[in-house]
Structure 1
Amino acid sequence: MNIFVCVKQVPDTETKITPTGDGSFIETASIKWIMNPYDEFAVEQALLIKQSNPAANVTVVRVGSVKDTEALRTAMAMGADDAALVEANDSLDSHSIAKALKGAIEKTGKKPDIILAGKQAIDDDALQVPQILAEMLGLPSVSVIVGFELNGTTVKVKREVEGGALEVYEVNTPVVLACNKGLNTPRYASLPGIMKAKKKPMAQYSLADVGVSDADRRVKYSQFRLPPEKPAGKKFDATDAAKQKEVVAQVVGLLRTEAKVI
């Protein structure tokens, strides 16, 4: 069984984001990168499948810059067997990323049985790549899964829908599944795992190697900017009992006319 996991590196949530001078993207030089949290559930699910199927091979695939391969090394330290990296600009759109992932999977020469990914990336929140990849590969796809059960070549999954309800699907492999929080509890990489990850194979491809060009881009980004700063808060002195009624009237008036909450 061949299991592929698509992962993305995203800025740490505590990282201070700064747009580039021309507003075309964000400054990436000083960013601390981490594995997209939703992808951690996908990696963990792949490893759980491997525990029940020792002959299974888990390959993690990423599209992005080569300056930092933390996400791939982390996945291999957790237990993945190998990795593939497609060197690309971090500002690619979902369509280009999906096509690059497809090309990288095909480049490995291994026919996928299960392809796992996080339901979304926490940086762009696009929620598109798994579904586009499935369409390109001609495979069924189920997203936002919180339950997984494998029985031979059939997968039963549960997915969340609005209102707290669950939908249950049975699909045959090969299949693309997008994972949500609650599916499992991702493990931490052990020290022996971290040492072994340094020796595990990681193939590297260019966009041209996987058949992606500028013509594949469907979305171009521009005018990145920080949200406007919040105006300073207003303070009122109500220590003087004689002025308290006046102060209360001012506060109520501002809540009604400016904040519009009453």
Structure 2
Amino acid sequence: MKILVCIKQVPDMESKFKVDDSGTWYDRADLAWRMNEYDEYAVEQAVQLKEQVGDSDLTVLCIGGDQVKETMKKALAMGCDRGAHILDDEVSTKEPYQIASIIAEYAQDKSFDLIFTGMQSQDRGSGQVGILVAEFLGLPSVSTIVDFVYEDGKIDVKRELEGGVKACVGLSAPALLTCQLGLNTPRYPTLPNIMKAKKKELLSIPVEDLLKVEARQETARVYFPEKKGGGLVLEGEVDQLADQLIQILKEKTGVFA
């Protein structure tokens, strides 16, 4: 079985963010970096499947500058067999459609049986890339999975819907799945596996070799939300509170004017 898992390097969400000089993304200086949280669930599920099936080959793919190799090494230490690094120092300027096309261009002739991605990235949060990859490749896909069972090419998953509802979906490989919180518990790489990861193949491919489409959308501006004023606590008897509330509504909205 051939498996592909796609990951992204993102800033630690506890970092102090600043908007960059272009005004369209965050300033990358002085940030701590990590694997996107949702991608950790994707890696863990891909490794579990590899261990279940046995005779499997698991590739981890990441797009970015040389810096992302450190995050890829964690995936290799978790159990991936090889790394495909798409070298792109300007990845933050590309929109989800382009990112998906790059991944699909890499994967199209490699006959992957299953592709795992995170549900979304923690920095951009579009939730589009995985599903777009499936569309480019003509594969069936299921998003936001929180349970996964594989047997003889048949896949049974549960996906999370609004309100805590779970939907059961069955499909056959080849397919693409995007992974959500609660699917599994990602393992911590052991020291021996960290050492082994240093010897695994990590091939860099220039993004120019894979990018075949033009952008369909662009980021106009990135900004921090405006701070809202504090709430107002009303005290007193019920009839007094009602009078106070009506007076406030008159002043703020003119509804009862």
> Would you call these one fold, judging by a TM-score over 0.5?
yes
Contact 1:86 1:104 in 2 (8 A): no
Q: Following superposition of structure 1 onto structure 2, how do residues 15-30 of structure 1 map, counting pairs within 5 Å?
A: 15-30=15-30
- Give the drift of 1:149: 0.8
Structure 1 residues 230, 153: CA separation in 2 closer, same or farther (over 3 Å shift)? same
Q: Which range moved further: 215-224 or 128-137?
A: 215-224
Alpha-carbon separation, structure 2, partners of 1:68 and 1:199:
17
Q: Following superposition of structure 1 onto structure 2, how do residues 152-163 of structure 1 map, counting pairs within 5 Å?
A: 152-163=152-163
Give yes or no for the alignment of 1:90 onto 2:91.
yes
Q: Following superposition of structure 1 onto structure 2, how do residues 123-162 of structure 1 map, counting pairs within 5 Å?
A: 123-162=123-162
Contact 2:62 2:68 in 1 (8 A): no
- Give the drift of 1:222: 2.5
Alpha-carbon separation, structure 2, partners of 1:66 and 1:194:
19
- Give the drift of 1:5: 0.3
C-alpha offsets along residues 26-46 of structure 1, whole Å, 9 cap, x if unaligned?
211322111110111110001
Q: Identify the residue that residue 54 of structure 1 maps to in structure 2.
A: 54
- Give the drift of 1:125: 1.2
Structure 2 segments unaligned to the other structure (5+ residues): 233-240
Q: Identify the residue that residue 41 of structure 2 maps to in structure 1.
A: 41
Q: Identify the residue that residue 176 of structure 1 maps to in structure 2.
A: 176
C-alpha offsets along residues 3-61 of structure 1, whole Å, 9 cap, x if unaligned?
10011111101111111122122211322111110111110001111111221111111
Alpha-carbon separation, structure 1, partners of 2:68 and 2:179:
24
Q: Identify the residue that residue 105 of structure 1 maps to in structure 2.
A: 107
Length, aligned pairs only:
244
C-alpha offsets along residues 216-257 of structure 1, whole Å, 9 cap, x if unaligned?
2112113222233456899xxxxxxxxxxxxxx9xx77x956
Q: Identify the residue that residue 220 of structure 1 maps to in structure 2.
A: 218
Alpha-carbon separation, structure 1, partners of 2:97 and 2:226:
30
SS of 2:134's equivalent? helix
Identical columns (%): 38
AA paired with 1:187? R
Q: Identify the residue that residue 238 of structure 2 maps to in structure 1.
A: none
- Give the drift of 1:87: 1.6
Q: Identify the residue that residue 243 of structure 1 maps to in structure 2.
A: none
Give yes or no for the alignment of 1:209 onto 2:209.
yes
Q: Following superposition of structure 1 onto structure 2, how do residues 75-86 of structure 1 map, counting pairs within 5 Å?
A: 75-86=75-86
C-alpha offsets along residues 73-117 of structure 1, whole Å, 9 cap, x if unaligned?
1100111101111122232110011011112224xx631000001
AA paired with 2:103? L
Q: Identify the residue that residue 199 of structure 1 maps to in structure 2.
A: 199
Q: Normalising to structure 1: TM-score of the pair?
A: 0.84
Q: Identify the residue that residue 235 of structure 2 maps to in structure 1.
A: none
C-alpha offsets along residues 169-215 of structure 1, whole Å, 9 cap, x if unaligned?
111100000111111111001111111111111111112211x15x5
SS of 1:69's equivalent? helix
Q: Identify the residue that residue 237 of structure 2 maps to in structure 1.
A: none
C-alpha offsets along residues 119-143 of structure 1, whole Å, 9 cap, x if unaligned?
1111111010111000000000001
Alpha-carbon separation, structure 2, partners of 1:105 and 1:195:
28
SS of 2:19's equivalent? coil
SS of 2:208's equivalent? coil
AA paired with 1:95? Y
Contact 1:35 1:70 in 2 (8 A): no
Q: Identify the residue that residue 187 of structure 1 maps to in structure 2.
A: 187
Alpha-carbon separation, structure 1, partners of 2:67 and 2:48:
30
